[in-house]
Structure 1
Amino acid sequence: MWNSPAEFFAMGGYALYVWSSLGVCVLIMVLEPLLVRSRFRAIVRRLQQEQLAEQFDKETCK
Structure 2
Amino acid sequence: MTPAFASWSAFFAMGGYAFYVWLAVIFTLIPLLGLILHTLLFRRRLLAEIRQRQSRERRIRAAKSKKAAGEAAGESR
Q: Same fold (TM over 0.5)?
A: yes
The correspondence for 1:25, drawn from 36, 47, 65, is: 36
Give the drift of 1:58.
0.7
Once superposed, what is the RMSD of the aligned Cα atoms?
A: 2.4
TM, length-normalised to structure 1: 0.70
Q: Which amino acid aligns with 2:41?
A: V
Runs of at least 5 residues in structure 1 that lack an aligned partner in the other structure: none
Mapped to 1, the partners of 2:41 and 2:22 lie a distance apart of 24
Structure (1 or 2) with the larger CA radius of gyration? 2
Give 1:37's aligned residue. 48
Percentage of identical aligned residues: 9
> Could you say which structure has the greater relative contact order, defined with CA pairs below 8 angstroms and 6 or more residues apart?
1
Q: Which amino acid aligns with 1:48?
A: R
Mapped to 1, the partners of 2:22 and 2:42 lie a distance apart of 27
Mapped to 1, the partners of 2:72 and 2:44 lie a distance apart of 42
Q: Which amino acid aligns with 2:55?
A: V
Q: Which amino acid aligns with 2:33?
A: L
1:55 paired to 2:66 = yes
